[in-house]
Amino acid sequence: MKFGTLKNRIAELEANLHIIILPDGRRWIPKSSGIRLCFQIMKMEHDQGRSIRLEDLTPEDQKEVHNYAMWNPDPGVHGQISLLTSNQAREIVARRGQLAD
């Protein structure tokens, strides 16, 4: 098998597994469409009466927020919820100036 064909096949398999390659080269598999995280962010903001900070989230959710913040989902492929969650994540991370982390 030629390298180019193998590379294309790996890319195809990763796409089927919903593996996202982030700008820093890390591979990430979103746990869901982002609806749980999106809902959690909105609920926390409602309950606290303010925009949440990264520190308000669990360490696991903080990692997920960082990954969503780095990702630019295609709404036609990944859905509007992924886009909304990514936008929310960018806002949260930008408040701390940590988008590059």
| pLDDT value for 91 | 95
**Domain edges within the chain:** 31-96
pLDDT of residue 14: 57
Cβ neighbors of 30 (< 8 A, separation 6 or more) are 18, 20, 64, 67, 68, 71, 82
H and E: helices and strands count for the chain: 5, 2
What confidence score (pLDDT) does residue 79 get? 83
Please enumerate in sequence order all residues whose Cβ is within 8 A of that of 65, keeping only pairs 6 or more positions apart, or say none.
Answer: 37, 54, 57, 89, 92, 93
- In tens digits, the chain (101 residues) has pLDDT values of 566 677 776 666 556 667 888 999 898 988 777 888 988 899 999 999 999 999 999 999 999 999 999 999 888 888 888 899 999 999 999 988 644 44
Output the pLDDT for position 33: 72
- Taking the CA atoms of 36, 80, 71 and 27 in sequence, report the sign of the dihedral they define: positive
